[in-house]
Amino acid sequence: MEKFVINGGNPLAGLVEIGGSKNAALPILAATLLSETPSIIRNIPDLLDVNTMILVLQGLGVKIEKLAEGTFQIFPDSLIKSDAPYELIRKMRASFLVTGPLITRLKRAQVPLPGGCAIGSRPIDLHIKGFLHLGVQVSMHSGYVEAWTDQLHPGEIYLDFPSVGATENIMMLASVIPGDTVIANAAREPEVTDLANFLMAMGAKIEGVGTDTIVIYGTPKLYGCDYSIINDRIEAGTFCVAAAITGGDVEIKGVNHIAMRSIITKLEEIGAKISKVSEDSLFISMKERPRATDIKTMPYPGFPTDMQAQFMTLLCLADGVSVITETVFENRFAHVGELERMGVNIKVEGRSAVVVGVEKLTGTQVTASDLRAGAALVLAGLAAEGTTDVYGISHVDRGYANLEKKLHKLGASIKRVYE
Ligand SMILES: CC(=O)N[C@H]1[C@@H](OP(=O)(O)OP(=O)(O)OC[C@H]2O[C@@H](n3ccc(=O)[nH]c3=O)[C@H](O)[C@@H]2O)O[C@H](CO)[C@@H](O)[C@@H]1O
Ligand SMILES: C=C(OP(=O)(O)O)C(=O)O
């Protein structure tokens, strides 16, 4: 078993470079299946989830070559299988994103229902709704989604919620269906935009990217291309909180200021001083005790649910009472119970958590239940008095590359221990 052992109290200082975005890399890797010709994808982060997606593609028959650190060439011409294995899909919900591309290439897909996870039940009804509108037939049995088509056609799809994954699956499928497909109430996340940019680099024509109405003018053939994915705004946000919670001074390089607007605004409300160093770099410093503030998670450009747990840790140390409301996932407060072991004062009432700031956190043993809960516990450990052992760090490895190395370089006392 692996754990992080953290001795808290060191203010972080120096420069950290942000890597490629997990949530952009996963759909873009799936989208390489849409053409028969190879693509080169750059800036792919070295994460467990990326490895899982690579195994999914290889399991479907696709050849993948690593050209350099973070750069892979994908040869989708060897795609032969339309069924994705349960062992991989259950590890990572994003593997369901191969469904759209499989239908376009092989006219059928058999993919296990990805199921729920520690943050909620996470249904896929909106993905299915989109497929049905585009001429796909779908049946579900024994925990599998079976999808097939004789004739795809364009359509108009209204999403009841701007689901990131549903927007991505539908956009991929529609990009090879001649005619105009409209996705209304589409997700506007920067990672959806990155996927659209990749599809356009492959030859698709898409309008309204980054707005809530995306129009895809499909073309029967897409071609592989050379593409570099965007950096990870959630990794950047997590390092911002690490700097703030330790009273540090850190330059964060590889950021998109616009994509991080809600995160930066909330940090400033809490009392962090943030300045723009360059087009892709910011400096964050925090010398005072954090101030309480309220946060409500929302689809982009609202405050990201993937930063909720990390901000909760910061607000646990604030002077005053904060209310954090989670509107995106129904059950994303699993970190609260573990933070309580470190001395926080939080009361969960339905979808809101009332956080009464305390003066200090105390190190102890805690266990991550999911990716961002794990990040929140690491942040708590960086600020706590004494030693914190964070277990369950495979969750953290799903979404952070070299987290402990990057934190150590900034002056944190953190090491990975194999027990
Ligand atoms: C790999 C990836 O990109 N993951 C991100 C993606 O997840 P993911 O794409 O799974 O998130 P969605 O935007 O689809 O989910 C948001 C909400 O919609 C609900 N829903 C979704 C689909 C559906 O068919 N029916 C339905 O009810 C979900 O249960 C959830 O409550 O966006 C989330 C919201 O920003 C992020 O937290 C995840 O990090
Ligand atoms: C919820 C997350 O990811 P996923 O959708 O892959 O579970 C996340 O990145 O915080």
Can you give the pLDDT at residue 417? 98
Q: Whole-angstrom Cα distance, residue 92 to residue 256?
A: 26
Residue range 247-306, pLDDT digits in tens = 999 999 999 999 999 999 999 999 999 999 999 999 999 999 999 999 999 999 999 999
Indicate the average pLDDT of the chain: 97
Can you give the pLDDT at residue 120? 87
Q: Same domain, yes or no, for 149 and 282? A: no
Which DSSP category does 297 fall into?
B
| Known binding positions for UDP-N-acetyl-alpha-D-glucosamine | 93, 122-126, 306, 328
Q: Same domain, yes or no, for 116 and 179? A: yes
Share of the chain above pLDDT 70, in %: 100
Q: Same domain, yes or no, for 114 and 236? A: no
How far, in Å, from the CA of 359 to the mean position of ligand 2?
Answer: 31
211, with CB counted inside 10 A (0-12, 13-18, 19+), is exposed
Q: Same domain, yes or no, for 139 and 170? A: yes
Q: Same domain, yes or no, for 212 and 351? A: no
In sequence order, the β-bridge partners of residue 106 are: none
Q: Whole-angstrom Cα distance, residue 388 to residue 155?
A: 53
The yes-or-no verdict on residue 117 having pLDDT over 90 is: no
Strand ranges across the sheet with 226-228: 63-68, 71-75, 39-42, 226-228
Can you give the pLDDT at residue 418? 95
Can you give the pLDDT at residue 272? 98
Can you give the pLDDT at residue 244? 98
| Known binding positions for phosphoenolpyruvate | 22-23
DSSP structure string for 315-364: HTTSBSEEEEE--S-TT--HHHHHHHTTT-EEEEETTEEEEE--S--B--
The yes-or-no verdict on residue 116 having pLDDT over 80 is: no
Residue 352, amino acid: S
Is residue 260 in contact with ligand 2, taking CB distance under 6 Å? no
Q: Which of residues 228, 246, 262 is at a domain's end?
A: 228
Tell me phi and psi for residue 225, to 5 degrees.
-150, 180
Q: Which of residues 193, 213, 228 is at a domain's end?
A: 228
Q: Whole-angstrom Cα distance, residue 344 to residue 347?
A: 10
Q: Same domain, yes or no, for 7 and 74? A: no
Q: How many domains does the chain have?
A: 2
Q: Same domain, yes or no, for 190 and 269? A: no
The yes-or-no verdict on residue 115 having pLDDT over 80 is: no
Q: Same domain, yes or no, for 293 and 357? A: yes
The region of weakest confidence among 114-118, 160-164, 330-334, 348-352 is: 114-118
143, with CB counted inside 10 A (0-12, 13-18, 19+), is exposed
Q: Same domain, yes or no, for 68 and 14? A: no
Is residue 50 in contact with ligand 2, taking CB distance under 6 Å? no
Q: Same domain, yes or no, for 86 and 169? A: yes
Is residue 52 in contact with ligand 1, taking CB distance under 6 Å? no
Active site residue 117: yes
Q: Which of residues 228, 243, 270 is at a domain's end?
A: 228
Can you give the pLDDT at residue 346? 98
Q: What is the domain-level CATH number for residue 316?
A: 3.65.10.10
Residue range 189-242, pLDDT digits in tens = 999 999 999 999 999 999 999 999 999 999 999 999 999 999 999 999 999 999
Can you give the pLDDT at residue 118? 87
Q: Same domain, yes or no, for 171 and 287? A: no
- Find the domain containing 248 and state its range: 2-18+231-418
Structure-derived torsion over alpha carbons of residues 194, 45, 263, 167, reported in degrees to the nearest 10 = 30
Residue range 294-315, pLDDT digits in tens = 999 999 999 999 999 999 999 9
Q: Same domain, yes or no, for 152 and 274? A: no
Structure tokens at 188: 């506007």
Query: Which ranges of 86-163 would DSSP assign to H, the alpha helix?
Result: 86-89, 99-106, 125-133
Across residues 341-363, what is the average pLDDT?
A: 98
Can you give the pLDDT at residue 299? 98
